[in-house]
Amino acid sequence: MDAIVISRGANNSGMLLLIQRKNDPFKGKWALPGGFVDINEKLEEAAARELKEETGVGGLDLKQFYVFDAMDRDPRDRTISVVHYSFTNDILPVKGSDDARDAKWFPLNELPDLAFDHRTIIDQFIINMRYER
């Protein structure tokens, strides 16, 4: 489960919320907020919980975007991610917590090196959103 949160306020051309991983794999790399679904959760609830736990951001209207299921997307095991997204007009205050060392907003055109297949996820999201406007 991963979450894409983009601020598209009047003073910026798009800022993406990322977390810095506290643990392996990809310890220290930046990634989309996310994690695993608990047995008693719906997908959207899991995405909202992970977003809140790792960044402090809550109360957003999350929508399902796409399923990423490449066999090698996570070195630990076969992991399928149902990606959710939300837009906000504000740069919300964030703080890395739980298994995130840090949380920070990045300009969409200046993203750091990302963990897992998160660059692919973000690129596909940007392409799809251009066609849906």
The whole-number mean pLDDT for each consecutive block of 10 residues of the chain, a chain of 133 residues, reads 90 87 97 97 98 98 97 89 96 96 96 97 93 59
Q: Are 90 and 11 in contact (CB under 8 A)?
A: no
User: Whole-angstrom Cα distance, residue 15 to residue 99?
Assistant: 22
The first and second tokens of residue 13, run together, are 């051309």
pLDDT of residue 132: 61
Would you say the pTM of this structure is higher than 0.85? yes
Domains delineated in the chain: 2-132 (3.90.79.10)
* CA dihedral for 19, 23, 28, 29, sign (positive or negative): negative
pLDDT of residue 13: 73
Q: Are 75 and 86 in contact (CB under 8 A)?
A: no
